[in-house]
């Protein structure tokens, strides 16, 4: 067995795990996700996910029903999005087309917000403007171009670990407000609900409920300010931390192929994608589901709480 391949024996599957970088990302082979997962295989996949933060499967031609069954192997599912509508027959599934990014973003490629931090080119954590963001996100490539449309993921635990002890100690006791952008709020329009604004108070550092490891809980573009700091202090610290979150040595880049599936731990990663949508006109369609999460907890025991809007619901 190669040093670059890890095998996990489950019954009846034998998973082949291929790490992609030293800190984040692994591809899993040896399992057909069209079939129901037995408990041992689901547990092995989830263990791999928690270890490597984002995992990838190739050539998984799943129906919508099979995609939902796979997601439910890890817990109850949420609606597609707090402010976006899911598919009519499957309200858990959010379908995105690459063309939407051009329509909904400014020419400088930033998401329009009332008072944004510096432009971080789409880096974000899913749905942190609610107090209980989803635990896991699962994305399936439905219509994939032959090139372009890649996605990046970053390890937020590594970003925290890379800070100096003094900055870690400062961040451990701070809280930050996460808000919806102007795009996510307001009147309903095609594919959108009448929702928002949403806002939540989160710890700046969160403790992973499975491993106890600390990670930076900074969402570039959505984290509006750090509570208790002057505006310049807050913005300077957010810029510093966002730089850490987006450092290339903490990231993995995934080239999509048709019927590929990505699953990421939304409690310990940020991601950006499609990173080059402004430079190609090829069709790209993906479908996402999310596994329900819990209130994040900080090192001091503080649990996130809503400031505006409701908690993220559960469908089942």
Q: Which of 124, 202, 206, 284 is catalytic?
A: 124
Phi, psi (5° rounding) for residue 71? -60, -40
Cis peptide, bond prior to residue 37, ω within 30 of zero: no
Catalytic status, residue 61: no
Q: Which of 135, 202, 271, 287 is catalytic?
A: 271
Alpha helices in the chain (DSSP H): 39-52, 64-72, 98-104, 156-161, 165-172, 231-245
Nearest alpha carbon to residue 274 among 138, 151, 144: 151
Q: Which of 90, 135, 178, 288 is catalytic?
A: 288
Distance CA 237, CA 232 (A): 9
Catalytic status, residue 288: yes
Three-state DSSP class for residue 269: strand
Q: Which of 126, 140, 206, 284 is catalytic?
A: 126
Q: Compute the Cα dihedral for 50, 168, 245, 19 and give only its sign.
A: negative
Contact 152, 20 (CB under 8 A): no
The overall longest dimension of the chain from CA atoms, in Å, is 57
In order of 80, 95, 191, 258, the CA distances from 87 in angstroms are: 8, 7, 9, 20
Catalytically active residues are 124, 126, 271, 288
């Amino acid at each position: 067995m190669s040093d670059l391949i890890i095998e996990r024996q489950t019954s009846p599957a034998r998973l082949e795990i291929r790490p992609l970088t030293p800190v984040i990302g692994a591809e899993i082979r040896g399992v057909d996700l069209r079939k129901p997962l037995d408990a041992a295989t689901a547990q092995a996949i989830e263990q791999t996910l928690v270890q490597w933060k984002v995992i990838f499967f190739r050539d998984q031609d799943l129906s919508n029903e099979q995609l939902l069954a796979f997601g439910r192997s890890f817990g109850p599912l949420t609606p597609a999005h707090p402010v976006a509508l899911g598919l009519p027959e499957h309200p858990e599934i959010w379908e995105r087309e690459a063309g939407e990014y051009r329509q909904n973003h400014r020419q400088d490629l930033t998401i329009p917000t009332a008072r944004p931090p510096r432009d971080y080119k789409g880096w974000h954590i899913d749905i942190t403007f609610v107090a209980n963001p989803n635990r896991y996100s699962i994305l399936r490539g439905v219509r994939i171009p032959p090139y372009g449309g890649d996605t990046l993921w970053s390890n937020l635990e590594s970003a925290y670990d890379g800070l100096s002890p003094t900055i870690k100690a400062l961040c451990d006791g701070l809280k930050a407000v996460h808000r919806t952008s102007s795009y996510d709020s307001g009147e309903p329009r095609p594919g959108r609900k009448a929702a928002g604004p949403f806002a939540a108070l989160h710890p700046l550092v969160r403790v992973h409920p499975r491993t106890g490891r600390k990670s930076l809980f900074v969402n570039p573009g959505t984290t509006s300010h750090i509570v208790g700091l002057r505006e310049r202090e807050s913005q300077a610290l957010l810029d510093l931390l966002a730089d850490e979150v987006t450092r290339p040595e903490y990231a993995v880049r995934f080239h999509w192929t048709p019927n590929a599936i990505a699953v990421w731990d939304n409690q310990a990663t940020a991601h950006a994608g499609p990173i080059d949508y402004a430079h190609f006109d090829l069709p790209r369609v993906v479908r996402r589901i999310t596994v329900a999460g819990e209130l994040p907890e900080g090192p001091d025991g503080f649990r996130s709480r809503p400031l505006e809007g409701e908690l993220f619901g559960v469908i089942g």
